[in-house]
Amino acid sequence: MKTSFKGLVCAIATLTLALWFAPSAKAACGGLNLPAAHPLAWYPQQYGRPHLMLAAFGEQDDNDDGASIVGMWHVTFTAQAVNGSPVPDTPIDNALVVWHSDRTEIMNSARPPQDGNFCMGVWERTGRREYRLNHYAWFANQFPNVTNNGIGSPVGPTRIVEQVNLSPDGKHYTGSFTLTAYDLAGKEIISFTGVLAGERITLDTAIGDLM
């Protein structure tokens, strides 16, 4: 029995329509879930011709409510303990910080360049608007002195670990930090713990807002 050309065309058309609209029902067999987002994706419409749509909008860091830590911030650090012993609130840094969407971070501290004013870190989201940052200043020199042609003696690295809570509007964050400094051999020499506060920098931020 031969299949007519017209019958074959009808069968192919029926199969094509079935496959076209199948993604809207999601694949549930075996718990399979297709990727939720792509840079670009095709979406069939209930009426009219299909068209190309963006599958994601703006920078996101998987936050449920859309607020993102990604961006540039003005951050102050206030020490409240040294080597575990309480001290009066003492500002120890005033920095510009950028959290990147690839989960890296960079900070420009208000410190002399030879003292290691640029440092970098990596971060992850740990809860709803909660983040953890692991940050390193990688070797430097002490503050200038009369020796070494005005450049201080070499010093070892510093590690800063932060726990950060982002505000619901995404414009501020607060949290805590532990700063630990090491000598050239990697031995711990001093540790600070305290609190930090950040304010998002925007196109309207002026110098007076940061001083």
Give the span between the Cα atoms of 140 and 146, in whole angstroms. 17
- With a pLDDT cut of 70, the percent of the chain lying above it is 63
Of 121, 99, 95, give the one whose Cα is nearest residue 108. 95
pLDDT digits (tens, 9 = 90+) for 145-177: 555 556 677 778 999 999 999 999 999 999 999
pLDDT beyond 60 at 194 = yes
Strand partners, 203: none
Helix (H) or strand (E) holding 209: helix 207-210
Q: Indicate the pairing of strand 130-137 with strand 154-155.
A: unpaired
Mean pLDDT score, 133-151: 74
Give the span between the Cα atoms of 32 and 100, in whole angstroms. 31
What pTM was computed for the model?
0.67
Mean pLDDT score, 184-198: 95
pLDDT digits (tens, 9 = 90+) for 23-70: 333 333 333 333 333 333 323 334 345 444 333 333 456 655 568 999
Helix, strand, or coil here: 200? strand
Say if domain 71-210 classifies as CATH 2.30.29.
Answer: no
Residue 110, pLDDT score: 85
Give the span between the Cα atoms of 29 and 149, in whole angstroms. 72
By the 8 A CB rule, do 81 and 87 touch? yes
176: Cβ contacts below 8 Å, ≥ 6 apart: 162, 163, 193, 194, 195, 196
pLDDT digits (tens, 9 = 90+) for 73-105: 999 999 999 999 999 999 999 999 999 999 999
For the chain, the domains span: 11-54, 71-210
Helix (H) or strand (E) holding 13: helix 5-21
